[in-house]
Structure 1
């Protein structure tokens, strides 16, 4: 990968000239360093220190709190393309999990003060409190164009004392070397790092609260967002959220009407345990629904490959066509990998000589023709690559949860009819 020119003048950081640490470390300077050598100078935002990870960009105009707390961003530095971030502060109602998961945060113009009746504190203060190193006053438009042209890569944010070693300003070469020593996203198995340690249950909510559940679902947490079990529970479903390490015997013990695999971080090509669990679910003909990482795991279970996108889909404005209805939906995305399956026809899934029967691509991205959904035709199973639960919106695809309920109901009816026929 060729070395690019810098966004800004980085002074002593690029020449290696020593300066005294106390004067510069306290002035709020921060450096964003990409593995190809590109550097951007800005101001520290959130915690001061060092962070490294894969740098990606998110095109959402709203929902920064949901983005920050999405476990799928584990080990990633997120660049926000929207220029003004932090205007509505942070509250305790909107997080998608119990903590911020991004490795670092890059913004152009942070809010000088937040203004929302729902806000409890500023975004800057929340980032600092959770130890998330960020940088502001960066030309995020130029940075995004760079990542679109060359693809996502590793990067680091350095501020405060992290800009110095033994009182001497670190050189750009030194910072780039640290960035390049960070692990790649390819081959990373990360679901177990973000999954719950202990199972928990979400009972039916809203108008269904206190009623007998209409169905029971086991949701395998590969990095699940809080809104997902909520979307099922508000439809009257009892949801058992279980760790990524759950076995098929433990799944069966919960007597589910359906199984769900969530979104999550990492390379689906490294998700061996998750793929084997899903194959066991499919063998038992338990209805299945997967979102995002769950779609990639489904693809792999069927025998298809996965591949890394150049810069991924991350935002809340991605057009997708549902091939079942012909409807075009505006959808929320957060994925850097995709399933490599044929867009046309109804081929037999290649795993184990066609063990799982026929499959078709049910949804396709209209920007780049990426597979955005899979449907098994001989099994009660389907998945989508995007996020129908989208807490920050849009909600065009929320009907998919109803489709899952219909699938479980139909399967249960057929199973009951078969049992009755056999007994008679």
Structure 2
């Protein structure tokens, strides 16, 4: 097996492990062997295996040492959170085994040490020590920051703009962007200050302006997972009303709010939703968050949040990721209010809605946002709605291995609308 194929296999294994294993169990390195070593009696030589180490980086390239204090601090933070050494200034955070939880830890550490507001978007766009250090030297401030994050810059086709889902996870589209390379540029729309907006319409107007600032005129392609799909739809509506051409709108498991459930009291629903956060974090990060609905009943929303935060702190034992997860809870709660009050206007263009073939575990469904109708509420607003099935569920369809099928489906739509940029 060639070194290039080894690297591709290692990258694939890392992606699958990141999404399929608890965070604490994700390997930091991979080593491809032609065969497993054996002892004289034919058994696997586990003692020898324990002495082997993966390359961590290209074998032919030595780590280039940090050149100044900023690079030294970044490299040290990466060493601490990744458990890999030595780390050179040209090493890529994600190639070294970085995943979502580790990325949050690294960003939190750097925010404190440099007293600046860099975020996951900066790490995505600047994944090496040298690149991220250059951002830190500039002492970035949040004011005036563009909401456009470039995930995949290469390609001659019209760019594909995807909107962050509930929770603001910037890494969720990383694998989709990789699968659409090298033909389709992919940009993500995100805002570090969601609190400035109170409605889907306001947020979509902000993103429509950012899309036009990036590409003055269409044809535009937009999409998003969950809440991101709602905002992509509204952004497409506003661009169309402004006279622009939108040729593609894709929504991945994007549900409109249904009628408030009548078989559960408001108090019980509040407790259910608070425990729902704990279940989702357990599934994603592999940490048990001990919290039950019985403990929460009778408490107001603020006290329930406090108890959730206390249990998160206990589960993560002072880890900086606990503070970031608090921000995720606040983000999701605000998004719920925006979805609840959103009333979609009509849209004459085609919209493609993708539904995961695998059901979500029942305890991860929100009674208000879980719908049994296949159109998830969109058929009354979109006359040209087209619904496709895709492997996976709400949490897994954008992750390996399911993302390969989804990417091919989206690429097929793009081939069917073969508009190209004017040269």
The TM-score, its normalising length taken from structure 2, stands at 0.35
The TM-score, its normalising length taken from structure 1, stands at 0.35
More strand by share: 1
